[in-house]
Amino acid sequence: MPIKIASWNVNSIKARLEHVKNWLAENKPDILMMQELKGLDFPSEALEELGYTCNFVNQKAYNGVASLSLKEHPATIILDKLPGDDSDEQARYVEIDYKDIRVINIYLPNGNPVDTDKYTYKLGWMDRLYTRLKTLREEGIPFIIGGDFNVIPDDIDCHDPKGWVGDALFRPETHAKWHSLLNLGLTDSFRVFNHNAEEYSFWDYQRGAWQQNHGIRIDHFLASPTITDRLVGCKIDKNPRGLEKASDHTPIIVEIADN
């Protein structure tokens, strides 16, 4: 059976816990990576009852990432912070080892407004991420990195490209950093199986974006070369976005052949 890994920005685990529990029970992924937990209280016990081990890093009110993995294949936590800036206290990074695959969960900074230090922080964070992934490539460690990248890669990945010009998610500087990651030999897993699909992973709560399918694709999985060779599928599951009190993001799922 392939290894099934999912990523989902839940936009508050407290608000979305029942959705997460139901989705886990129905889909049974090997790993679920969540972003934007938004709080210090994490429901480890409720999720462990479903058969998962929880590795997470969180903070008061903002950010937070968690990687749940099936207990029958214990994961080893490698890092709970992106290297390169000891002063950075934002909870945005968890790296685990699962079945000899390095599985990295990120919540990359949004960066807006672009004329503030928030955008400087975003670009610096992407530089640090590049350095970490370059190290893994040089060491020959197979990995997949997923999460909310807050990057719209191309025009096809948003319903209205002109409307996003100048936004931190779509600026040329952001695209340059994104392409530097790809130039490490990484592959956008979704595009392997959905070459020209206009599919999205995020729809704003405002202006009927979900109902009109005015979305953007900002949740991604990037795979190192050896993992790319083992990819057997990648899809966006839109169903959770249609639920009552849904997150504004929906899960993306990648499947990797098990060795």
Q: How is domain 3-256 classified at the CATH fold level? A: Deoxyribonuclease I; Chain A (3.60.10)
pLDDT at 206 over 90: yes
What ranges do the domains of the chain cover? 3-256
Give the CA distances from residue 94 to residues 29, 55, 171, 234, 243, in Å, rounded to whole numbers and listed in that order: 18, 8, 26, 21, 28
Q: 39 Cβ partners below 8 Å, 6+ apart? A: 12, 13, 14, 58, 60, 61, 64
> pLDDT > 70: what percent of the chain?
100
Q: In which band, very low, low, confident or very high, does the pLDDT at 8 lie, cut at 50, 70 and 90?
A: very high
The predicted-structure confidence for 42-83, as pLDDT tens digits, reads as follows 999 999 999 999 999 999 999 999 999 999 998 999 999 999
pLDDT at 237 over 90: yes
Q: 142 Cβ partners below 8 Å, 6+ apart? A: 100, 101, 102, 224, 226, 227
Give the CA distances from residue 163 to residues 106, 116, 155, 158, 216, in Å, rounded to whole numbers and listed in that order: 26, 20, 11, 9, 11
pLDDT, position 74: 86
pLDDT at 244 over 90: yes
The predicted-structure confidence for 141-195, as pLDDT tens digits, reads as follows 999 999 999 999 999 999 999 999 999 999 999 999 999 999 999 999 999 999 9
Find, among 180, 160, 181, 161, the residue nearest to 171 by Cα.
161
pLDDT, position 68: 98
pLDDT, position 65: 98
pLDDT, position 109: 98
pLDDT, position 27: 98
Whole-prediction pTM: 0.98
